[in-house]
Chains A and B, each alone.
Chain A
């Protein structure tokens, strides 16, 4: 079975400060990892993914994420938060070596950036 944990329901950060949204995962074998963002009354939008290679991946809107195999984590980061980054963020995983092609999502973390 595959699973994702997002331990924080909400993260609050001041505009201009760095932000981190945490994600840990559990899969059999190697993971494919994804971050998505959801704005109110919209579907999820893809931010970035880790498939293989460099542990630091860069994505849309200045976001990046670091894959840590030993800690089974894939934390989302941004050096300087914007008020417009306020949204719901989802981490997702699937195993690379199974035929199951559907992602398993975490419960989501609400990011609130204060002016």
Chain B
């Protein structure tokens, strides 16, 4: 029972490089989310997708793009990485409504 799977687990980028963080869930959830976690700041929402075919900006969307590829997969792209994007990125999914979020184990990204 995999739940929410994120790849890669770790990544180091140079400033200006691009990359895509992958997320897949096997719980048939409608909603998917991307958060970043920084020390002392908790989790901040980057983008979310309430259902397949829709995406919406969160609190900190600048510098990121997302694709809801299908119901299972929700990817996060950094087009031109900056040191300020050094963070731990978490993908989450939920059935929606008042259902709790299920989180992946995170991707630790360092931008030098």
Contacts A101-B31, A101-B48, A102-B58; A43 near B40 (Cβ below 8 A): no
**How big is the B interface, by class?**
20 to 34
Cβ of B105 and Cβ of A43 under 8 Å apart? yes
B 36-79 binary contact with A (CB < 8 Å = 1; else 0): 00001111110010100000001100000000000000000000
- Bound state CA distance, A90 and B44, in angstroms? 12
Q: Which of A68-114 contact B (CB under 8 A)?
A: 90, 101-108
Q: With a CB–CB cut-off of 8 A, which chain A residues contact B92?
A: 43-44
Q: A45–B101 Cα gap in the complex (Å)?
A: 8
Contact digits for A28-45, partner B, Cβ 8 Å, 1 yes 0 no: 000010101000011111
How many interface residues does chain A have, given as a range? 20 to 34
Contact (Cβ within 8 A) A43 B106: yes
From A106, which residue of chain B is reached at the shortest CB distance? B42
Q: Are B105 and A42 in contact (CB under 8 A)?
A: yes
A90 surroundings in chain B (CB, below 8 A) = 42-43
On whether the beta carbons of B42 and A105 are closer than 8 Å, the reply is yes
Q: Given the complex of chains A and B, what is the CA–CA distance between A102 and B98 in angstroms?
A: 10
| Contact status A44-B98, CB under 8 Å | no
B98-A49 in contact (CB<8A) = yes
Residue A51 at the B interface, CB < 8 A?
A: yes
| B-binding residues in A (CB < 8 A) | 4, 6, 9, 32, 34, 36, 41-46, 49, 51, 90, 101-108
The 6 closest A-B pairs by CB, nearest first: A43-B103, A46-B100, A107-B42, A105-B43, A105-B42, A44-B103
